[in-house]
Each structure stands twice: as structure tokens, then as C-alpha cells.
Amino acid sequence: MIIVTGGAGFIGSNLIHALNKKGESDILLVDNLTNGHKMQNIADLNIADYMDKNDFITRLENPNFLTHIRAVFHQGACSATTEWDGRYIMANNYEYSKRLLEWCQSKHIPFIYASSASVYGLGKHGFHVDRASEKPINMYAYSKFQFDQYVRRILPRANSQIVGLRYFNVYGSREQHKGSMSSTAFHFNNQLETGDEVKLFGECDGFSNGEQQRDFVYINDVVAVNLWFLENSHHSGIFNVGTGQAQTFNTMAQAVIDWHKQGKIRYIPFPEHLKGAYQSFTEADISTLRAVGYEQEFMNVQQGVNDYLNRLNRA
């Protein structure tokens, strides 16, 4: 059996979908379905069982709970970068992750988990997987950073695979439940479904209108990296998951406009409350990912958006 926490979420549900396509259905999906709209992500998936997150955490204490586990994909977390309840964030993203990792280590189970590029903060020291580059600027980022630090202490004595994947700006199918936290591709598409323009931030941080840059990575590529580590369980460590090539918000907007074959860009003033707390540039250093043997190429924005909107608008 394979366990996927956060299995009803964006990345988790896509991961299960990909596992299904490979013939895997002996899967335990763990999540919190308080937001029942997430069921739209999992209605087409084949799983062995569903378990509420709180029940799952409680049952980890039972030494006879679950046997013959092939791997755990830990995608479950509070992903809101705007959440400032530190106790809530640390309980969900840090303590929960520690308990699950310790359980996996006690049973020699590979543990592949979601970290985040948010640990790099404003990116003033680059986007390399090393302590010198890391400076989180919100509670979500801090919780991910602190768990990565915990993993670094465990790795030298680990008895089974531990892999942390620092996702950059992921976009793609099954993200509609995320609301304001959905990708720009999703929001731009919705704006053109109801109007004739997409809205981008104007100049900020020395970047002209819409020229802020992010490493936009397509969900299919993110899933492919996860599955590669499943099949290569002799590799452990923390790795960036991005294309390695930043592209502008203008490029993202234009890709959506090109798919719709109509629309224009309107720039809006940069919000005051985001000044000093916004990543105007991200670009993954994927050298460590390449060094362990991951060779698959990543889609650029034009390729990813075309595939995404074909699925989103013609479903």
C-alpha cells in the first residue's frame, strides 16, 4: 500500500491520478474534507481507503496500525501563506510531519514530502538548497523551513529514504478548490472566461509592469519528480522542484490570452500590504536534482498552459 496525505488536495490528487495510470490503486488517501469541494479532485480516483487526518494521526500510535507500506507521500499541510496563527501552522505543518517521519523511520518506510520554495523568502541570497539561501518571511514558510532543518538532522542516521521537495510555483489541474491561493494561470483563465482582460501587478521591486518573474512549474512535472524518487529509493535529500528558468507574469498572461485567442492585459497598482513581503523573482537551482540522475525536461509556461487549459476548459 502507498499512503498519500493531503490526497484530496492539488498535488496529492494529481499524484494519486498518476499512480492510478501506472496501475496502482492500493492507496490510502488521508485528508481533511472540511472543505467538501475538494471531493471534485478525487471523484475519479481509485483508492483502497480514505481516512480523516485526525484519525490517521491518532492511529499512528498503534504499533499494529498498517503493515506492508511501500511509501508515504506526505503532501498534507496548511498551505495558506496568509495564515499567521503560528500554533496552528506549527501543529499542522511541523509536529504532524515529525510524527509521520518518525513512524516511517521506525518501520523503514520511504518518506517523500512537500517542502516549499517559500523557505527562500525574498530570494536575496539565491535559491540554492543550502542554509545560506533560506530566510522565510511568513509562518507557512517558517514551518516548512523548520521541518527541513529537522530532516537535515535525521538524514545522517536515516534507515530509509527521506526526500523533501521544494515546490516552486506549481500550476495545473485540480487546483480550483484553493480559491485565492490558486495559480495565476487559473485566475487569468477565469478572468477571460468572464471578461476580456487579465489583471497583473504594475511595477515593483525594480521590475516594470508585469515583468516580475517566477519559476512556474507544471503539475505533471512535479508529479513526475515524486514518482521518480519512488522508483529510486536509494536517493535521499532535499531538492528544488522547478524548471530552473524564471519566466515573467507577462509571459504567463500572454500564454493564457493566446490559448483563448482574445484578451488584453491591464496593470493594477501593486498592493501596499504586499510590499516587502512578495517574491518578485524566483528561479530554482535544480543542480542537485540533476546530480542524482533526474533527467526529464520540464515544460515551459507556453507548453504547460496549453496542456492545462485544454484540460480545464474542455473537461
**Catalytic-labelled residue, pool 50, 178, 199, 267:** 178
Q: Residue 116: pLDDT above 70?
A: yes
pLDDT at residue number 77:
82
| Catalytic annotation present for 140 | yes
User: What residues does each domain of the chain span?
Assistant: 2-170+218-244+284-298, 172-213+246-281+303-307
Model confidence over 8-26: pLDDT tens digits? 999 999 999 999 999 999 9
* For range 128-144, the mean pLDDT: 95
Strands (E), the chain: 2-5, 27-31, 49-52, 71-74, 111-116, 162-167, 169-171, 197-201, 213-214, 216-218, 237-241, 247-248, 264-268
Q: Which of 85-99, 238-252, 295-309 has the lowest mean pLDDT?
A: 85-99
Q: Identify the band that residue 188 occupies on the pLDDT scale cut at 50, 70 and 90.
A: very high
* For range 236-255, the mean pLDDT: 98
**What percent of the chain has a predicted confidence (pLDDT) above 70?**
99
* For range 205-233, the mean pLDDT: 96
Degrees (nearest 5) of the Cα angle 62, 67, 70? 130
Q: Residue 3: pLDDT above 70?
A: yes
Q: What is the 3-state secondary structure (H, E, C) of 212-252?
A: CEECEEEHHHHHHHHHHHHHCCCCCEEEEECCCCCEEHHHH
Q: Residue 82: pLDDT above 90?
A: no
| Catalytic annotation present for 38 | no
The fold for domain 2-170+218-244+284-298 equals Rossmann fold (3.40.50)
pLDDT at residue number 289:
98
* CATH (residue range 172-213+246-281+303-307): 3.90.25.10
Q: Residue 279: pLDDT above 70?
A: yes
pLDDT at residue number 204:
87
**Catalytic-labelled residue, pool 96, 113, 120, 140:** 140
Do 222 and 241 meet the contact criterion of CB atoms below 8 Å apart? yes
Give the C-alpha separation, 149 to 130, whole Å. Answer: 10
pLDDT at residue number 239:
98
Q: Residue 221: pLDDT above 70?
A: yes
Q: Residue 92: pLDDT above 90?
A: no
pLDDT at residue number 315:
59
* For range 23-35, the mean pLDDT: 96
Q: What is the pTM of this model?
A: 0.95
